[in-house]
């Protein structure tokens, strides 16, 4: 196998994820020579504004995809929740490895439980999805925008006027954070995760047969089926960063896929959700999206997309 160059965002989490994935490949073939090329994306440069106001998810992948097209890198390791549901022609997700815990982690000052927070308490999150679901259950709380890596957000919780923050649990786990620092992992009945949360997507050129054969050896078909249902739903609902959209699929004991999709208004007052089970992930994603459209969820999506 030739020397491989992998593209990664420069953040500590992205580099950690990349190194962990490279270890998986080297466990299969110890002779592999793999180098990491750090790439600064537009999403990494803009830290003073909400992503939903400056272009959303693609901000973390466009520069990396350009490096793939220019053949400066051979593959890229993305957090799948950052990858738009439609890829540019010529690129594919070559494999989806094992998934980390998909839930959100709630971290509060003094480990105060979410249900015990006083009226007016401030929760930091940069996610419209998290904010809407928290406000739906706890309308007396306030959501305040927060950005930055894990360390930055934890520092802001300590030093600024936040009473709690919510982060993806997968990032904490991959960075080796102890469960002791987490007040609670939020049940997906309270806060349904983001599409693809906890999963990685390994992107490469569609015609790179040798690399695709290698990546196939660390592919997890069950995880791939689940995220395919989720990403089909995302695509069908035209779910952008302006829309509080959530979805989580899991494999059931009888080997079918159980998938729940959710669309909400940003204030948490309007909620459209549906859960279905099936064997075909694409058909399942389509079914859930059709049900939400029938309920009227498109009115929220159109209004939010038009307002930006």
Residues annotated as catalytic (active site), given as ranges = 82
Give the separation between CA 276 and CA 297, rounded to whole angstroms: 17
Q: Is 93 exposed, middle or buried (0-12, 13-18, 19+ CB in 10 A)?
A: buried
Torsion angle of the four alpha carbons 204, 208, 212, 215, in this order, in degrees rounded to the nearest 10: -50
SS3 151: helix
Cβ atoms within 10 Å of 210's Cβ, excluding its own:
11
SS3 23: helix
110 φψ region: left (φ > 0), alpha (ψ -120 to 50), beta (else): left
Q: Are strands 257-264 and 271-278 parallel, antiparallel or unpaired?
A: antiparallel
Give the separation between CA 277 and CA 298, rounded to whole angstroms: 22
Q: Is 253 exposed, middle or buried (0-12, 13-18, 19+ CB in 10 A)?
A: exposed
What contacts 106, CB < 8 A, 6 or more positions away?
114, 164, 165, 166, 182, 183, 184, 185, 186
103 in Cβ contact with 193 (< 8 Å): yes
Q: Are strands 184-186 and 122-124 parallel, antiparallel or unpaired?
A: unpaired
Q: Are strands 104-108 and 164-168 parallel, antiparallel or unpaired?
A: antiparallel
261 φψ region: left (φ > 0), alpha (ψ -120 to 50), beta (else): beta
């Amino acid at each position: 196998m030739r020397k491989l160059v992998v593209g990664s965002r420069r953040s500590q989490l992205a580099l950690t994820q990349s190194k962990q994935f490279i270890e998986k490949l080297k466990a299969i073939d110890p002779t592999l020579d793999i180098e990491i090329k750090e790439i600064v994306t537009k999403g990494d440069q803009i830290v003073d504004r909400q992503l939903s106001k400056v272009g959303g998810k693609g901000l973390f992948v466009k520069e990396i995809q350009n490096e793939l097209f220019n053949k400066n890198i051979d593959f890229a390791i993305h957090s799948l929740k950052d990858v738009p549901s439609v890829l540019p022609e010529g690129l594919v997700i070559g494999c989806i490895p094992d998934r980390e815990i998909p839930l959100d982690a709630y971290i509060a000052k003094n480990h105060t439980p979410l249900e015990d927070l006083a009226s007016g308490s401030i929760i930091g999150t940069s996610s419209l999805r998290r904010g809407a679901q928290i406000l739906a259950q706890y309308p007396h709380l306030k959501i305040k925008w927060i950005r930055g890596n894990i360390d930055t957000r934890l520092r802001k919780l300590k030093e600024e006027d936040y009473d709690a923050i919510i982060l993806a649990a997968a990032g904490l786990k991959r960075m080796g954070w102890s469960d002791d620092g987490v007040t609670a992992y939020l049940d997906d009945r309270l806060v349904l995760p983001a599409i693809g949360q906890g999963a990685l997507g390994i992107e490469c050129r569609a015609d790179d047969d040798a690399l695709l054969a290698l990546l196939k050896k660390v592919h997890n078909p069950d995880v791939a089926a689940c995220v395919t249902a989720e990403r089909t739903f995302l695509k069908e609902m035209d779910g952008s960063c302006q829309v509080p959209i959530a979805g989580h699929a899991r494999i059931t004991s009888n080997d079918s896929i159980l998938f729940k999709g959710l669309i909400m208004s940003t204030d948490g007052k309007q909620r459209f959700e549906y859960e279905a089970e099936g064997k075909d992930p694409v058909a399942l994603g389509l079914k859930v999206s059709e049900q939400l459209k029938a309920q009227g969820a498109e009115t929220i999506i159109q209004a939010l997309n038009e307002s930006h």
